[in-house]
């Protein structure tokens, strides 16, 4: 079967996680990483995804391994509860391949991309009762829009774009919004389309992505048995910064010198990657999406 998403940094993921007996893939997607991990000898995988279409594709893709994989529609935020259902209080490996998949980007009806018209949706979970990108764009105040474009898109022209949106709303489709953004910022000769950052910001806001990563990493570290590994692939600096800070804090040990009353702290993990692993030229050539991927891996002490 053709898989509509090419898994990034597959080899380093296999190198670091192939010996796991129990592994959680918190972002199953089409199941590409999980397929390769099961093929490499991982005992059993619990695969989670919020996207019901991804779940269906993964079920089909992974049917050969049906006895060694448990596929669950749900968020990685709740991985501890889903692991407990399997009777797992500890696991050997956890993988988070954050963000959006190629199949989500390539399906205009999901509203993640703006090259073809689609509804302004952007929810990972199509069944969730949560605000869509259209709800945000059409109802939030200028200050609220400016804030998310700046914080989640690092967009220089946040205020200008927010103002133009308020003046021209309502918006129904991705392309209507992208065209307005293109008209409201100064022209750039090269680089990304001017709507790229705003679309990233809206997706992060719709799915509350950064808060979910912050909440999940401590739980994931907690769930690992000694020697177990957590691997996180991020695709932009906002995500990578959170991963880096949480890993640094958990790997730092504070020992009070005699006579000083410093609050002591034990490290719970060690960093296996001081600098993130990135895709090599060959991978970038074959899969341009891998260009911005950064992989950080830690091991439980």
Give residues in contact with ligand SAM (CB under 6 A): 5, 7, 26-27, 29-33, 48-51, 54, 75-77, 97, 99, 101, 124, 212
Integer Cα distance of 184 and 162 in angstroms: 10
Toward ligand SAM, which CB reaches closer, 159 or 215? 215
- Rounded least distance, CB 32 to ligand SAM, Å: 3
3-state secondary structure of 212: helix
Nearer to ligand SAM, 211 or 254 (CB): 211
Query: Which of 63, 29, 27, 21 has the alpha carbon at shortest distance from 45?
Result: 21
The radius of gyration of the chain from alpha carbons, rounded to an integer in Å, stands at: 20
Taking the complex as a whole, the smallest distance from the CB of residue 247 to ligand SAM amounts, in Å, to 19
In the complex with ligand SAM, the residue whose CB is nearer, 171 or 289, is 289
Please give the residue whose beta carbon sits closest to ligand SAM in the complex: 29
Print burial letters for 157-195: b (CB count within 10 Å at least 16), e (below 16).
bbbbbbebbeeebebebbbbbbebbeebbeeeeeeeebb
Q: Distance between CA 268 and CA 251 in Å, rounded?
A: 6
Pick the closer one to ligand SAM by CB: 155 or 239.
Answer: 239
277 DSSP 8-state letter: B
Taking the least distance from each CB to ligand SAM, the nearer of 9 and 165 is 9
Minimum distance from CB of 142 to ligand SAM (Å)?
A: 28
Please state, in angstroms and rounded to a whole number, the distance separating the CA atoms of residues 241 and 115: 29
Minimum Å gap between C-beta 231 and ligand SAM is: 11
Residue 134: CB minimum distance to ligand SAM, A: 19
């Amino acid at each position: 079967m053709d898989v509509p998403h090419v898994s990034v940094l597959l080899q380093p993921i296999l190198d670091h996680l192939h010996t796991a007996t129990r592994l959680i893939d918190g972002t199953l997607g089409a199941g590409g990483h999980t397929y390769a991990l099961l093929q490499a000898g991982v005992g059993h995988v619990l695969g989670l995804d919020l996207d019901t279409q991804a779940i269906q594709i993964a079920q089909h893709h992974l049917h050969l391994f049906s006895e060694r994989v448990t596929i669950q529609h749900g968020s990685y935020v709740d991985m501890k509860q889903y692991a407990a259902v399997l009777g797992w209080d500890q696991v050997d490996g956890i993988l988070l391949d954050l963000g959006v998949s190629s199949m989500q980007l390539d399906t205009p009806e999901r509203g993640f991309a703006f090259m073809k018209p689609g509804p302004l949706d952007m929810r990972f979970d199509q069944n969730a009762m949560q605000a869509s990108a259209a709800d945000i764009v059409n109802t939030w105040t200028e200050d609220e829009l400016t804030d998310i474009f700046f914080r989640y898109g690092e967009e220089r022209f946040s205020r200008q774009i927010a103002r133009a949106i308020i003046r021209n709303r309502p918006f129904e489709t991705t392309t209507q919004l992208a065209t307005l953004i293109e008209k409201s910022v100064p022209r750039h000769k090269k680089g990304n389309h001017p709507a790229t950052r705003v679309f990233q910001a809206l997706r992060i806001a719709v799915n509350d992505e950064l808060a979910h990563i912050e909440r999940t990493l401590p739980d994931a570290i907690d769930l690992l048995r000694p020697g177990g590994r957590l691997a996180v692939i991020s695709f932009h600096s906002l995500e990578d910064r959170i991963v880096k800070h949480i890993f640094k804090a958990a790997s730092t040990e504070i020992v009070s010198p005699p006579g000083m009353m410093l609050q002591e702290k034990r490290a719970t993990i060690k960093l296996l990657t001081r600098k993130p692993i990135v895709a090599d030229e060959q991978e970038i050539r074959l899969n341009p999406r891998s260009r911005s991927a950064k992989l950080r891996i830690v091991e439980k002490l």
